[in-house]
Structure 1
Amino acid sequence: MLEDNQKPLKNSKYKGYQADLLPKTKRQQTWGTFNYFTLWMGSVHNVPNYVAVGGFFFLGIAPQYIMLAIFFSSILIAGMMIFNGKAGSKYGIPFAMSLRASYGEKGALIPGILRGCIAAIMWYGLQTYTGSLALLILIGKIWPTFLSLGGDFQFLGITMPGLIAFTIFWSLNLMIGLGGGAILNKFTALLNPLIYVLFGGMTIWALNIGGGLSEILAYIPQQISKEYAPLIIFFMIINANLAVWAAPGVSASDFTQHAKSFKSQAFGQFAGLVLSYGLFAFSSVTILAGASIHYGVDTWNILDIVTKWDHLAATAFATLVLLLTTISTNATGNIIPAGYQLAATFPKKISYKQGVLIASIISFLICPWKLMENQASIYTFLEIIGGILGPVLGVMLAHYFVAIKQTLVLDKLYVTKGTTGYYQSGINWLALSITFVSTVLSFTGKIIPSLSILSGFSWMIGSVSAFVLYSFSILIFKSSTNIRRK
């Protein structure tokens, strides 16, 4: 870690790197426990997560076990974020540089682009489109004729009102992304009280209209799948929740680089995630089950519930909070990582803000509303990204804690003219090889039809196998890893 008495980052000895990628000084590491406690709350209570809980109901498991599986997964998610962010809090480095420590200067490009560019930008677009649907509901409640603007006009499958709502919401996301972590921290501090007012109120409402907690816990959807045993479904839910956090888990250092200490980020993230997910587990199950009982039809999307309300003020408040939580989720999980990764991929040409702008433009051009037309394609995309990023996480954890024993040499990490990095070729071939092998293992259920049940555990298989294989290889074949330690 750099000390306070060193030169400002713009005069850093690591020439050729944008300031956003350089190690943060002690003075720049200002985030305390409360900052991390509030960081992820908006990312938990969002529209896609509620839709996912609706999918858990469809699997045929009892509501109380859905709650328990979600809560248990929060402990694992917190552990993933804390420990993969340890290098960030210790050395003040972002994800792009932490990834380089594991894969090498050149080797990091492949997993970095997969996480910071492809996964982040795709999710960026999808989250923005989901949020724009909520904005469309709000505008339609206030200005009903807005929904008929343009008549039958469509732009690549989206109506004129939908396109306007998407553009407005896309612009809001872009502004928060350009502000970076500092703006995000202030944003989440204002948002979190509103989250608990909304979802606390909706939970009480659902308990009343659903006949009480006993009726909600006894709720059985009209259509359920009986393909798997309850215990298998329980762990499939845990895997699904972990897979949702596969991308933020890999890039945890983008946020822990600002931490005052490891203790502050560890305690803050653990308390924040476990508390948020504990409340989310109860509120999401209660709201969706209560609404389904009341309306007499399975209701999986919280936007469908809000749309049915006749009270304009309640609808407006709920929609506004959902919009803000989507922005928070997008910024923490997609926009900021994409900006940093693009800056790391082209360190001499692109800054963080330029990376955010490029990622934002691409997220618009991919027409994310087209991806939402086919639900199966979304789940396939998530399975692929989760199956790939799980092994990346496993390798990063094994490398930092087993291979280099939590010790980085910044002069080898920030390769400049006349210096050499950790790896002779700029690539850690062992890390890339094990990432590939573990990725294949994570997709075993897709490759071998008779083992299709394993598809529900792709993230677990990929991350665990990568960690075990890499750790074993380091311990047994240490001399052949070409890691330069001095």
Structure 2
Amino acid sequence: MKTQAESNGIVTLTGEGEKLVKDSPLYNEGLRPTTRAEHSWTAYNFASLWVGMSICLPTYAMAAGLISLGMNWWQAIITIILGNVIVLIPILLNSHAGTKFGIPYPVFARLWFGSKGAHIPAVARGLIGAGWFGINCWFGGAAIDTLLMSMTGWEHVPGHLWIAFFAFWLLNAWIAYRGPETIKKMEAWAAPILIIMSLALLVWALTKAGGWGPMLSAPSKFTSSGEFLKVFFPALTGAIAFWATMALNIPDFCRYAKSQKAQIIGQSSSLPTTMGGFSFIGVAVASATVVIYGEAIWDPAAVLAKFSPFAIFLGTIGIILATLTTNVAANIVAPARAVENLAPRKLTYEHGAIIASVVSLLMQPWYILENFGNYIFLWLGTYGALLGPIDGIAIADYWLVRKRRIHLTELYKTNGIYSYKTGYNTRALWAMAIGIVIPFVCKYVPALSIIWDNAWTVGLLISLAIYTWMMRNDSTIMSVKDYEKVTARGGESKAS
């Protein structure tokens, strides 16, 4: 029986396929495969998504923070661009699965971890997304607090920073609750505005510092290659880890792609360029603060406080836009889907968005942002070591083990082939554990510390190799003949 149809590289359920799984406890409206009509996102939609997500305060803070750690402007930019080119590879590899089969990340994870085991990578990604959600809300709340202090007697209100933070957190939570289509519409019009405001900030820095020369003349503080590399490798891992979260749950967005070409062009043209460009603005402004104020200021709210009230007002509008477009797209969809996947028949995306927003407070973003060391070494470095192995398993399973052949209806059956024997794929658990433990142990062995400094990359490669070897003869792998038995060619799916 043909349970799925493939047309122009996109696979959807047939009417017969939907009947088989629509009553399954693993199936609901948010987790089902998309219909052909829902594959509507163009290259522009993906480009605007990444512009909106990349132009954000954490990007600025990361770039400016590398200056405060001792890099000069071009060392910082090269580090960030290189990190984003590297992470673009797993993003595009995992995007292919979301585009071809129209499945969200938690369902994709069932393929490699099992119907129950999928909760492990989904919740891991969700917790990190919730942490980022809180970090962005803290940045935005601090900017609003700065604005109010510049215009009124707001600084005399007890707990004024916390009030601004919680108000902005509520705004973010409300927009996130509205769902992915609201995100798509918001990104489309916000992206051009953010580009203009970013360029305006660069012009200010250029003018105030007296030109490119004084602004970018600050030398590197490192006196040897060894000193530089001690900071470069963990900083590179931080730059990679910055979007390692999206490398996992990018199927949540690419399941709506019009074609593989649309998502590849849209993402490849926008991620490295926007991150590089906005990082340059962060680096330039931080370098300018050295010239203007005698110190590198990496906190954008602290820079904003130096401006006139009107400039602070415009800057705050830009910060609110930048935070919203990043937060609701990059940081809430994955946690919301992870929560929804815990009980598909009882929980919805909306429930997940609310729960994830609350969890973001438990992650204590104010502590993570207490100093830059916490931000890039503790936060980015640690979760990069966790997500790298999961990225490796996802890529290995789809590209090397299954060779892009998936039986869609089996992903929604509690006793399907992707449930394995107990609901858990123990091979994935072992590959993940080994990929995490080896870099973590090396953290405490001085001679091997470089492995920890590159934990995301090392963990990804270790888990990818181990998982591929362990799964080489697994019974869940579909042959070309098996795939053709359930897949109608050139046909349309059920009515959309």
Instruction: Note whether the superposition's TM-score is higher than 0.5.
Output: yes
Asked if 1:181 is matched to 2:180, the reply is: yes
Q: Give, in whole Å, the separation in 1 of the partners of 2:228 and 2:301.
A: 28
Pairwise CA distance, 1:395: 0.6
Asked if 1:72 is matched to 2:82, the reply is: yes
Deviations 1:103-150 (A, max 9, x none): 11122122221112x21222222221221111111222232x122113
Could you tell me which amino acid in structure 1 is paired with residue 401 of structure 2? A
Counterpart of 2:344? 347
| Structure 1 residue ranges, 4+ long, deviating more than 6 angstroms after superposition | 7-12, 223-227
Counterpart of 2:492? none
Pairwise CA distance, 1:273: 0.8
Counterpart of 1:483? 476
Distance 1:163 1:234, change over 3 A: closer
CA contact (8 A) 2:67 2:296 kept: no
Q: Give, in whole Å, the separation in 1 of the partners of 2:277 and 2:229.
A: 23
Distance 1:61 1:377, change over 3 A: closer
Distance 1:299 1:375, change over 3 A: closer
Q: CA RMSD in A?
A: 2.6
Could you tell me which amino acid in structure 2 is paired with residue 13 of structure 1? K
CA contact (8 A) 1:59 1:226 kept: no
Asked if 1:166 is matched to 2:129, the reply is: no
Distance 1:217 1:464, change over 3 A: farther
Asked if 1:363 is matched to 2:373, the reply is: no
Distance 1:9 1:357, change over 3 A: farther
Distance 1:33 1:352, change over 3 A: same
SS at 2:179 equivalent: helix
Could you tell me which amino acid in structure 2 is paired with residue 97 of structure 1? V
SS at 1:425 equivalent: coil
Pairwise CA distance, 1:459: 1.2
Pairwise CA distance, 1:460: 1.4
2:154 maps to which of 146, 153, 172: 146
Q: Give, in whole Å, the separation in 2 of the partners of 1:121 and 1:42.
A: 18
Asked if 1:132 is matched to 2:129, the reply is: no
Distance 1:286 1:394, change over 3 A: same
Counterpart of 1:210? 209
Note the residue ranges of structure 2 that are not aligned, 5 or more in a row.
1-9, 483-496
Q: Give, in whole Å, the separation in 2 of the partners of 1:412 and 1:437.
A: 28
Pairwise CA distance, 1:383: 2.5
- With 12-21 and 80-89 compared, the bigger mean Cα shift is at 12-21
CA contact (8 A) 2:234 2:381 kept: no
Distance 1:473 1:414, change over 3 A: same
CA contact (8 A) 1:422 1:483 kept: no
- Identity among equivalent positions (%) equals 28
1:423 maps to which of 413, 417, 420: 420
Aligned positions of 1:319-468 closer than 5 A: 319-365=316-362, 367-373=364-370, 377-378=374-375, 379-416=377-414, 419-421=416-418, 423-468=420-465
Q: Give, in whole Å, the separation in 1 of the partners of 2:18 and 2:154.
A: 49
Q: Give, in whole Å, the separation in 2 of the partners of 1:10 and 1:179.
A: 29
Q: Give, in whole Å, the separation in 2 of the partners of 1:21 and 1:103.
A: 17
Pairwise CA distance, 1:229: 4.1
Asked if 1:85 is matched to 2:83, the reply is: no
Q: Give, in whole Å, the separation in 2 of the partners of 1:141 and 1:15.
A: 56
Q: Give, in whole Å, the separation in 2 of the partners of 1:50 and 1:102.
A: 35
SS at 2:406 equivalent: coil
Structure with the larger RCO, 1 or 2 (CA within 8 Å, 6+ apart): 2
Counterpart of 1:153? none
Pairwise CA distance, 1:253: 0.7
CA contact (8 A) 2:52 2:187 kept: yes
Counterpart of 2:256? 258
Distance 1:383 1:14, change over 3 A: farther
Distance 1:399 1:420, change over 3 A: closer
Pairwise CA distance, 1:482: 4.7
Deviations 1:388-421 (A, max 9, x none): 11100011001100000011101211115x6443
Pairwise CA distance, 1:373: 4.2
Q: Give, in whole Å, the separation in 2 of the partners of 1:124 and 1:447.
A: 31
Counterpart of 2:5? none
Asked if 1:313 is matched to 2:319, the reply is: no
Asked if 1:15 is matched to 2:14, the reply is: no
Counterpart of 1:156? none
CA contact (8 A) 2:390 2:460 kept: yes
Pairwise CA distance, 1:12: 6.2
Q: Give, in whole Å, the separation in 2 of the partners of 1:9 and 1:207.
A: 58
Pairwise CA distance, 1:70: 2.0
Pairwise CA distance, 1:431: 1.3
SS at 1:421 equivalent: helix
Q: Give, in whole Å, the separation in 1 of the partners of 2:108 and 2:281.
A: 36
Q: Give, in whole Å, the separation in 1 of the partners of 2:14 and 2:475.
A: 35
CA contact (8 A) 2:68 2:298 kept: no
Counterpart of 1:290? 288
Deviations 1:10-61 (A, max 9, x none): 9963533220000000111111110001102122222222222233224433
Pairwise CA distance, 1:257: 0.9
CA contact (8 A) 2:51 2:274 kept: yes
Distance 1:36 1:163, change over 3 A: same
Pairwise CA distance, 1:182: 0.9
Distance 1:215 1:94, change over 3 A: same
Q: Give, in whole Å, the separation in 2 of the partners of 1:255 and 1:484.
A: 26
SS at 1:240 equivalent: helix
Normalising by structure 2, report the TM-score. Answer: 0.87
Counterpart of 1:54? 64
Could you tell me which amino acid in structure 2 is paired with residue 389 of structure 1? L
Note the residue ranges of structure 1 that are not aligned, 5 or more in a row.
151-158
Counterpart of 2:109? 99
